[in-house]
Structure 1
């Protein structure tokens, strides 16, 4: 089963898309090109959506959402972002801050606004939900300098919307930050008298009375600005700017942001998980190899020495093992989409490991993932059509349509439903209508045609011939032990693939829901390979047990055995929600479980497809190696 024709077509389409992107706007890989400034050059400060770092709420809000009453520039401009950045809720705008290279500023007033009582209630609630602001200077996020457990300082991206003062959570009072001490670190190039931004630190203050005589220096003073929830409050916004020379070069400016707490625990957990999984998969491989070698040698010796054969165990089902399964249309469609997801994940992780997906490029990972998913639509059509033809399917046009529409359509339906939830909650994460049209265009104008072309090549290939013939009358399956029940075996088999990714899944979920930067793609790629190997061996092992028990219905069982790990992921997501997060609104909960369902579904399809294809190769190998009269 060669995948060469559709893969070539996918790479042609990807090359065309890449060529168009390069012609429109050239980008420096792996991130953004360095920006050189001269003394006095303007340096733009952009603002992003506000998010809750403590995950009390999963709803981001636009920086210029009217209830926040932040100062707006004379001309509001929306910064252009990638598709993945928009889908993940980034909403960048220009700001009224006037920054000039090497020019310190003191007590610069932005504006004065009057905050109504109902808006004060909203702001105070967001302060209690630990919302933080996100600014960017030269594409570098503003951060706060905090100490870690070892006493070293690191840069925590973002800074708080306000401060909570009080001993207990019930009597804490929310103070609103309206003054910002901005410290910008720069690196000087002595050769050409150019300067580059290498760090941005923002220290917010809550100031009720402006002290210009003291140069707006509020270090050590307690917060003082309270927003009244009974009457209108007048708030003035100020900022200071200080430029600080740094020895950090531009190429390493992200190192201080990519700080890992409890690094030893992280490394130990990953290595320990990998060692355990490798030992278990090695044991499975040894058992299978020894048992199968003995069985095949015994079966063939009966024919050569005695002129007959003794059919016991898995050889008894040789006339039924390749019988087309029930719901063969659905199985072929899911496996085809699983091949598409497998290649998408593998190639994306490979690009990430090679360093092409820098954290400085917001949304690059998700954008590349979507591009590869679209381009590998041809693989889904090709694999699905080849399997459906092998299963003696007749409705090829339905197979093509379901392959192109079923899985993407289900995900898109959930996506649209969640988007309506975000719109009703007035969250900035709601995807704009134009972006929605772009996704639909990518789906129907690129992915679907590629799927059709892949299916065309697949159906034109000769049918995959099975090594043994299938009887017309199916063999009766004897009563199976309880542990070989389809759901019991799936529940047992799905634990090992889930265990292979459990530790890394925890860090990934932290990066998603706590807005942390995830960048250990080398470990993730290794865990992905272990996941594939584990899913394959677990599915083969359970398939062998079923065949030895004279149960020839291996197709769906192999898919469910490996795919059940996705169910464990959803259960783990539920446990994570109740133990780790502190969400207290229905919209955030609906959003969390909606995306968790999507992630679990994709994982079921991915691992289930790996399990089915592995068992298909396994069954064809063992029945092709024995002699059958």
Structure 2
């Protein structure tokens, strides 16, 4: 089905005004508007069932207690009932399984009651029905690319909004016995809202669909009125005393004209609840700006001191550095004592200037750091591309699976730059086997990610869930990795290592490493400094994380929409990581500790650990997940997401620290 490229409420003015969502919604004209004449048949697609209480999804058409597809041709649509709709890669990975249904819809023709089928359900099917109802599963149906929705009103009853999907059933608990009974919804009332088509199609009486509401109901077979409907219900016996149960399925269709809602903003009702949280988003932005402002002040002071110290010591510094180079074999305490007692040494020749001969010494295990930076660069480019396209409205809910599909494409294309940066850093560290580094860069993160997904997939396969990735899709992902990403990384590595060469340093490393004074202050030790530095970006990000997590885990059918706010928060978070890294590296160098390479990466990546800890808090206090399997999936996917975030921010921290160190030592040249 065609993707509707939409510039949403967080779109054009979003990008012009720091990506803040202030604009009204509109679509790119003439791309995917489909209009219908009166009486024209419209297909209804069934997709999947999902629940906020579990991470296990199922294909709706594969449930044993629903009507199986008849396989008959649908005149006027060119479709056959039961045929699968071609899906993009993102749709498959998110668990979509879209199929043509037997539900018959005709534009503007009401159908008060329509019999679909009577499904004979055995004991296993009844158990599955009870499981689906008990765990609060909702079904997703699709008409004209709109998901069927349950209609609600806001707290002040001033506006209506949609929650995608509708309940498969409901539970009632007896007040006397305390036992629960489960009721299956076997009748649906479809309310489809339409608007006059824009342009010439509207003048010819054609219409566009702007709303799709589903009202489910449970109706018992033996107690139907003359129209086939009743207020009685289909109860699923939890003890399953009888081995089979015949469940009749019916539906009603009503068409209503909607004057106030046009095709261009028909998705707005799905996001009313997100828009009501605007004040909280602004609070998050103000909180972020305050923290970033404090960091900016500290960084400004640091840069001002370094610039002033350069001017004050420009004449005496070269001779002093020569003396320090000759005394590198002395114990650190003795060297420090001599310097302090020398009246000819300027007061500002202390701390970071004393380690000029070691600050660019290659770090230990640098052959692992270079591939990490390469992978982080790849993820950084992918993330920035996704957020930018989302702010422009090119990635929106109407483009089902588009976010994942485009993300994979951007990740593959960024492989060339990943290999380039990794190879240059690798050669800067003195590496000689660039081919080995290229292979490691191309396989380090994708290999770990693919292996984890494969192991999780084995577990999901056992649950017969639509979340399981088909074997053919796994082979396609493997082919994309080995046939596209790996060659691009290899080409980029070849260019970065052989053509571009190493990054030049203003000062060469001395032959012997300088001793680091001990003990170091507690705030310069690895664990405290990294943990403290990581808490600052997390303090900026955590408010927005609440909305992202709600969209991902509590409202899986919902779509995170406010990418304008997310873009602003992400920008401030990146800036805060850069500022925090500058402060952490400067403090480290001031205490004559030149092991800043890995520390700069760890400072940026450490906020990922805070985010993962927040995932645990969110799991305990906000989710109602049932079953250990769903918990395993939650923490496994959360760990992968936090790993991506840590690599991304660690790369930002490393590049910032590297640029800062090269900058402040740029004036110190020893021939």
TM-score, normalised with respect to structure 2: 0.86
What is the rounded CA distance, in whole Å, between the counterparts of 1:403 and 1:628 in structure 2?
Answer: 35
Q: Which residue of 2 aligns with 1:557?
A: 599
> Which residue matches 1:11?
none
- The answer as to 2:591 corresponding to 1:592 is no
* Cα-to-partner distance string for 1:462-495 (whole Å, 9 max, x where unaligned): 3322101211111111111122111111001101
Instruction: Give the Å deviation of 1:289.
Output: 2.2
Is 1:199 matched with 2:211?
yes
- 1:258 paired with 2:265, answer no
Which of 474, 478, 494 matches 2:517?
478
Shift of 1:296: 2.6
Note if 1:583 corresponds to 2:625.
Answer: yes
**Is the contact between residue 378 and residue 411 of structure 2 (CA under 8 Å) also seen in structure 1?**
yes
Q: Give the Å deviation of 1:293.
A: 2.8
Deviation readout 1:41-73 (Å, 9 max, x if unpaired)? 110000111000xx2111001112243333423
In the alignment, the residues of structure 1 paired with residue 268 and residue 528 of structure 2 have an alpha-carbon distance, to the nearest angstrom, of 47
**What CA distance in whole angstroms lies between the structure 1 residues aligned with 2:179 and 2:291?**
49
SS of alignment partner, residue 118 of structure 2: strand
Contact 1:181/1:241 (<8 A) preserved: yes
How many Å separate the matches in 1 of 2:371 and 2:458? 29
Alignment of 1:113-132 (within 5 A): 113-132=119-138
Q: Please report how far the alpha carbon of residue 245 of structure 1 lies from its aligned counterpart in structure 2 after TM superposition.
A: 1.1
Query: Is 1:491 matched with 2:531?
Result: yes
**Preserved CA contact (<8 Å) 1:71 1:110:** no
Cα distance in structure 2, aligned partners of 1:225 and 1:546: 68
- 2-side partners of 1:144 and 1:167: how far apart? 26
Shift of 1:106: 2.4
Q: 2:507 aligns with which of 461, 465, 468?
A: 468
State whether structure 2 residue 487 is matched by structure 1 residue 449: yes
Question: Where does residue 292 of structure 1 map in the other structure?
Answer: 306
Q: CA deviation at 1:525?
A: 1.3
Cα deviation for residue 390 of structure 1 reads 0.9
| 1:158 aligned onto 2:165 | yes
107, 111, 129: which one pairs with 1:101? 107
Q: Which residue of 1 aligns with 2:24?
A: none
Moved more, 364-373 or 64-73: 64-73
Equivalence map 1:495-574=2 (5 Å): 495-514=535-554, 515=556, 516-574=558-616
- Aligned CA-pair RMSD: 2.2
Aligned partners of 1:421 and 1:538: how far apart in 2?
A: 40
What are structure 2's unaligned runs of at least 5 residues? 7-26, 72-80, 322-343
Deviation at residue 230 of structure 1 after TM alignment = 1.9
Mapped to 2, the partners of 1:557 and 1:170 lie a distance apart of 58
Gaps of 5+ in 1: 1-24
| Helix, strand or coil at the partner of 1:48 | strand
Equivalent residues in 2 for 1:226-625, closer than 5 Å? 226-227=236-237, 229-231=240-242, 232-247=244-259, 248-260=261-273, 262-300=276-314, 302-303=316-317, 310=346, 311-459=349-497, 460-479=499-518, 480-514=520-554, 515=556, 516-625=558-667
Q: Larger deviation: 265-274 or 580-589? A: 265-274
Distance 1:306 1:35 in 2: 77
SS in structure 1 at match of 2:625: coil
Counterpart-to-counterpart distance in 2, 1:148 and 1:467: 62
Moved more, 616-625 or 114-123: 114-123
| Pairwise CA distance, 1:332 | 0.5
1:300 CA displacement? 2.1
The answer as to whether partners of 2:221 and 2:247 remain within 8 angstroms in 1 is: no
Indicate if the aligned counterparts of 1:273 and 1:503 stay in contact, CA closer than 8 A: no
Query: 1: CA distance between counterparts of 2:172 and 2:160?
Result: 24
- Which range is displaced more, 267-276 or 341-350? 267-276
Q: 2:146 aligned to 140, 148, 151, which one? A: 140
Q: Distance in 2 between matches of 1:88 and 1:273?
A: 33
* Secondary structure of 1:414 counterpart: helix
Between the aligned partners of 1:101 and 1:332, the Cα distance in structure 2 is 60
* Matching residue of 2:54: 57
Bigger Rg over Cα = 2
Aligned partner of residue 61 in structure 1, secondary structure: strand
Give, in whole Å, the separation in 1 of the partners of 2:594 and 2:138: 57
Matched, 1:175 2:192: no
Deviates more, 1:364-373 or 1:497-506: 497-506
Contact 1:210 1:216 in 2 (8 A): no
How many residue pairs get matched? 601
Q: CA deviation digits over 1:588-629, x for unaligned, max 9?
A: 111111111111111111111111110111000101123547
Tell me the distance in 1 between the aligned counterparts of 2:476 and 2:359: 45
How far 1:170 sits from its partner (Å)? Answer: 5.7
Question: After superposition, what is the alpha-carbon deviation per residue over 1:536-593, rounded to whole angstroms, capped at 9, x for unaligned?
Answer: 1111101000100000000001110111011111111111111111112122111111
State the alpha-carbon separation in 1 of the partners of residues 319 and 436 from structure 2.
Answer: 50
